[in-house]
Amino acid sequence: MYGELLRAFVAMNEFIPLQKQVVLKPYVPRKPIPVVYATEDEVWKGAGGTLILDTETYINFFLLQFLDIKSKKIIRFEITDDYDATLWNSQKLSWIMHSYRTVGFNSIKYDLPIIWYSYQYQDNKQIKGLSDEIIFQNIWPKLLEKDHNFKIWPTEHVDLIEVCPLRGSLKLYGGRLHADRIQDLPFDVNSPLSSVPITCIDGSTTNQFDIVADYNISDLLATEILFNNLTEQLQLRTDLSREYKQDLMSKSDAQIAEAVISSELKRLTGKWP
């Protein structure tokens, strides 16, 4: 009786038995998110503002994009195997990082080391190797600097991962906050991207490089939503950072408590605990 009911339930809900091979439908990219790129003049005039940042790393492609939260325009840097200096300007990148407040998600441990390494070395294979060390070996930024002979320059930056309540991925937080679009990385990170034309669901033509760039935009928008919903938490960190004369912007509540108590003990005893 139980077996008959189970078979009827499976048939009714069209569940696929484990014995049957699953055949995935071919990937069809959706319509790209409309993007407006900031002009050189707009980038210079926007100094002092806030930019959301995110990176994508492949063996033959490195992408760094910034979203200006005021103008909603994009600043794009990229490195391809046929290196084009018009798409990558290290001097401009350094100026942006030092002239704006930047915001990311898991960026202190991942994006910032990748950005400052690419600032010094414009080699996709080396950048991908550093990315793999961070992801698979859990190597911390200080050790990366030492092992790979580069410097992560101090800038005004906010990493939201510790500020967020509980634990979760950027996609999970985006879902909780009703982001318009949530997307997983469309291509295997260990395979090179191709420029072969691909037809989108709306009939337009694109390629894997531009699809990854479009995916990156969706992550920037999700990070922006998260940033806007953490206004109260970030204001508290701004006030405490000013009061205790240390950067608490990217710390969790517990980390802030530890820093504040340590600071008070130092003030009372003259020694750090």
The three-state secondary structure class of 8 is helix
What is the token pair recorded at 222?
């999700």
CA 222 to chain centre: 10
- Locate all alpha helices (DSSP H) within the chain, ordered by sequence: 2-13, 40-45, 90-99, 112-120, 124-137, 141-148, 170-176, 208-228, 231-244, 253-269
Q: What is the pLDDT of residue 29?
A: 87
Alpha carbon distance 28, 11 (integer Å): 29
CA 125 to chain centre: 20
Nearest alpha-carbon partner for 234 in 155, 160, 170: 160
- pLDDT digit string (tens) for 76-114? 999 998 767 678 999 999 999 999 999 999 999 999 999
Which parts of the chain register pLDDT below 50?
Answer: none
Q: What is the pLDDT of residue 263?
A: 80
Provide long-range contacts, Cβ within 8 A and 24+ apart, for 242-249: 249/157, 249/158, 249/163
Q: What is the pLDDT of residue 22?
A: 72
Alpha carbon distance 113, 151 (integer Å): 8
Q: Model pTM greater than 0.75?
A: yes
For tokens 């294979």, the residue is 125
